[in-house]
Structure 1
Amino acid sequence: MTTKLRTPAQIRMNAILKRLHDGGSVAVADLVKEFEVSDMTVRRDLAELEREGLLERVHGGARRRTSGPLKVNDDIELDFDARLARNSVAKRLIAADAAELLSGFRSVAIDVGSTCLFAAEALACRGGQRHIFTNSLRVATALGALGTETYLPEGRTRPGELSITGPSAIESFAKLHFEVAVIGVSGMSDQGFYDFSIEDSELKKLYLERSEHRVFLCDSSKFRRLSTIRVAALSDATVLITDAPPPSDLASALAGAGVEIRVAEEP
């Protein structure tokens, strides 16, 4: 007898958000039947999405938020390994879409962070001759192992993240010009994109200033989440790649800022 694997929680929740985006409401009974999971599992998914401010639960199901947007303030950054494992399915979908978009560029700046690391690996696996500039030792190591020409700045290493930061790092890259920058964030709201690290944010801002195209990678768990530093306004982004349609207030703000939204999906 073959046991059917359950749909991972993140994929289920992304599917729920897409249905809310398309139809406005979902029913617990329909989700139980579709995903072949228990009533309790679906209700836990809905409770998690409600805590993140992405929906409102109602009797028998959920609907898109009708009240003002909820913004969650984060003040503790998880360690890198924990972030690497968190929402990894969604992040790899985003990374694959980013690699497809970036494959036509020759000069690419890649930021720090777990989703950026996945994107760098996916881009390298596509082959092609390009110059990669990054302040992430993790990205540089992964790309070096895959045979991609990679440039690092001078500077000090930030423990944990293994990013190169400081005035020397900024000076190393300040005179360069990039065709495209790939930026990771810890959260976004209608006011912009956010990150935890003051040091890493300085390099993010430099990449944005020195790039023609600016691609932000943000999985849907980070919608309406704020943290220490506002890295950029929404209008600073050329493209946002995510794994589920943003809620209506964010979608409207992004459209008003002229940002192209790409929703990465399983092939």
Structure 2
Amino acid sequence: MLAQQRQAAILDRVRTAGGVRVSDLAAEFTVSDMTIRRDLDALADRGLLAKVHGGATRAHPGSTDEPGFAAKSVRQRAEKAAIAARAARLVEPGQAIGLSAGTTTAELARRLATVPRLTVVTNSVPVSEVFHRGGRPDQTVVLTGGVRTPSNALVGPVAVAALRTLHVDLLFLGVHGMGERAGFSTPNLLEAETDRALVASADRLVVPADHTKWGVVGISTIVELGAAHTVISDAGLPPDARASLAERGVELLIVEGGTE
């Protein structure tokens, strides 16, 4: 098993159990205690967990903490891939779509890179790079300007001004958290403003978000839960989340076990 794969598995165990012991992980993965400690150091340096004596526990970020794109990209990989696959089915050739910043939307972009005659409006540098590498001459990509955030989003007045003149059929909005009180939220005030401009440009709002986003609250609300037409999540989404979305008339699409 590669170090990156082992670290992703360790992170899943921390999130599931709330904490792990070095000795247990070493036995499970058949590696030395020192190897596990290096893994925990790497994950702690990226803010994904908190090291304690003999092991590690969940990190407890505040409402303004914003992990970088690389840190977020190792989280819930199977769920994000399945969510992106389901989201891609909503897109038809010739549409104009919006893709906000986020690791799930970046995964979705990879699945849309071959869709013909697509127009993509995005404030995400990684998303724009996916389509640039694809090189389809029949696709148009509009990348807003703006100030770059730790999650590689372009935000601020320049981005908002550009978005106010654009219109898309469908917006896929990546979010930091979602819940009854805060709705869909982000830890970055400027990103919230930019995301609201993206929402205003769209005829339909789709939020692709894995179950770990439920109950997470960023400092700024983008829009309330009921503003979404569709939420795409995985089987780990708790019953109270499903009920809250249903009460607000939001279509919920659930992917099961890494596939639909």
TM over 0.5: yes
- Aligned to 1:254, the other structure's residue is in SS state helix
Q: Tell me the equivalent position of 2:218.
A: 227
Q: CA deviation at 1:263?
A: 1.0
1:184 to 152, 174, 181: 174
**Contact map agreement 1:190 1:249 (CA 8 A) in 2:** no
**Contact map agreement 1:135 1:152 (CA 8 A) in 2:** yes
Please show how residues 102-117 of structure 1 align to structure 2 within 5 Å.
102-103=91-92, 106-117=95-106
Aligned letter for 1:121? R
Q: Tell me the equivalent position of 1:241.
A: 232
Moved over 4 A (4+): 8-13
**Contact map agreement 2:83 2:232 (CA 8 A) in 1:** yes
- Aligned to 2:178, the other structure's residue is in SS state strand
Q: Tell me the equivalent position of 1:253.
A: 244
Q: Tell me the equivalent position of 2:73.
A: 84
Aligned letter for 1:114? T
- Once residues 184 and 213 of structure 1 are traced to their aligned partners in structure 2, the CA distance between those partners, rounded to angstroms, is 14
Q: CA deviation at 1:9?
A: 7.7
Q: Tell me the equivalent position of 2:89.
A: 100
Q: Tell me the equivalent position of 1:118.
A: 107
- Aligned to 1:224, the other structure's residue is in SS state coil
Q: Tell me the equivalent position of 1:143.
A: 131
- Once residues 105 and 230 of structure 1 are traced to their aligned partners in structure 2, the CA distance between those partners, rounded to angstroms, is 32
2:203 to 201, 212, 230: 212
Aligned residues: 208
Q: CA deviation at 1:162?
A: 2.7
Q: Does 1:157 find its partner at 2:134?
A: no
**Contact map agreement 2:105 2:173 (CA 8 A) in 1:** yes
The structure-2 alpha-carbon separation of the partners of 1:93 and 1:9, relative to structure 1 and needing over 3 Å to count, comes to: farther
Please provide the CA RMSD for this pair.
2.9
Question: Per-residue displacement from partner, 1:98-141 (whole Å, max 9, x unpaired)?
Answer: 1111235600011001111111111114x221100001111111
**Contact map agreement 1:103 1:123 (CA 8 A) in 2:** no
- Once residues 90 and 240 of structure 2 are traced to their aligned partners in structure 1, the CA distance between those partners, rounded to angstroms, is 26
Q: CA deviation at 1:145?
A: 0.7
Q: CA deviation at 1:228?
A: 1.1
Aligned letter for 1:237? A
> TM-score scaled by structure 2?
0.71
- Once residues 233 and 105 of structure 1 are traced to their aligned partners in structure 2, the CA distance between those partners, rounded to angstroms, is 29
Aligned letter for 2:73? L
- Once residues 119 and 152 of structure 1 are traced to their aligned partners in structure 2, the CA distance between those partners, rounded to angstroms, is 16
> TM-score scaled by structure 1?
0.69
- Aligned to 1:205, the other structure's residue is in SS state helix
Aligned letter for 2:86? D
**Contact map agreement 2:67 2:150 (CA 8 A) in 1:** no
- Once residues 105 and 205 of structure 1 are traced to their aligned partners in structure 2, the CA distance between those partners, rounded to angstroms, is 24
Q: CA deviation at 1:149?
A: 2.1
Question: Per-residue displacement from partner, 1:48-81 (whole Å, max 9, x unpaired)?
Answer: xxxxxxxxxxxxxxxxxxxxxxxx9644221210
Question: Per-residue displacement from partner, 1:11-59 (whole Å, max 9, x unpaired)?
Answer: 999xx9xxxxxxxxxxxxxxxxxxxx9xxxxxxxxxxxxxxxxxxxxxx
- Once residues 183 and 115 of structure 1 are traced to their aligned partners in structure 2, the CA distance between those partners, rounded to angstroms, is 9
Q: CA deviation at 1:10?
A: 8.7
**Stretches of structure 2 lacking an aligned partner (at least 5 in a row):** 1-5, 17-27, 29-60
- Once residues 99 and 136 of structure 1 are traced to their aligned partners in structure 2, the CA distance between those partners, rounded to angstroms, is 17
- Aligned to 2:101, the other structure's residue is in SS state coil
